[in-house]
Structure 1
């Protein structure tokens, strides 16, 4: 009955937190396309706010950030991590990465 381990009950290494089979090693083409699409949508919202004439401190800070077309692939698909090798890890390894803002710049000094 439980010998075939398929689906949600598939075993994985406990040393990897039990989630080794759920997170892919790299982003697929469609996931990369979705990341680019989300970044372009955010750029559109920022452009709309700037065109409307709204002024606030946070909007001034966001206007300085690079647009999706100006970003390097390293910044689009990876994010800063203190604990990861080379201080970068794939954006898909961040929990709820589709709902969190993708940082568009690397902290200074790294």
Structure 2
């Protein structure tokens, strides 16, 4: 008998492996775009505050812990973390930085 969870239409509790792979790919793609932009500006002898701020505040994909890649802080959750795929528009919003200690 198939699991009822499949037919309920509700999202699963954990992010499936293919979605995790796509999330890592998206994070790496954003890192490449920022690197390309920074290199292009450096070639012209320029810099942008937003790019410098990105490097100062945002960790790269390889520097992030798995818990930070696939979960995000939510004060309403029991463990203060919820799976990233439960966030609306989770593919378009940056969730690289979480509150300290969580």
- Common topology (TM > 0.5): yes
Which structure is higher in RCO with an 8 Å CA cutoff and minimum separation 6? 2
Aligned residues: 91
1:89 aligns with 2:73: no
The Cα offsets for residues 58-100 of structure 1, whole Å up to 9 and x where unpaired, read as 2112112211111100000011111112221110010111122
> 25, 28, 53: which is aligned to 1:61?
53
Residue 109 of structure 1: how far off its partner (Å): 5.2
1:98 aligns with 2:91: yes
Distance (Å, rounded) in 2 between the aligned partners of 1:100 and 1:46: 16
Alignment partner, residue 26 of structure 1: 14
Query: Which 5+ residue runs of structure 1 have no aligned equivalent?
Result: 1-9, 13-20
Residue 28 of structure 1: how far off its partner (Å): 0.9
Residue 56 of structure 1: how far off its partner (Å): 2.3
Residue 55 of structure 1: how far off its partner (Å): 2.3
Alignment partner, residue 107 of structure 1: 99
Query: Which structure has the bigger radius of gyration?
Result: 1
Query: Which 5+ residue runs of structure 2 have no aligned equivalent?
Result: 1-6
1:76 aligns with 2:69: yes
> 45, 50, 53: which is aligned to 2:38?
50
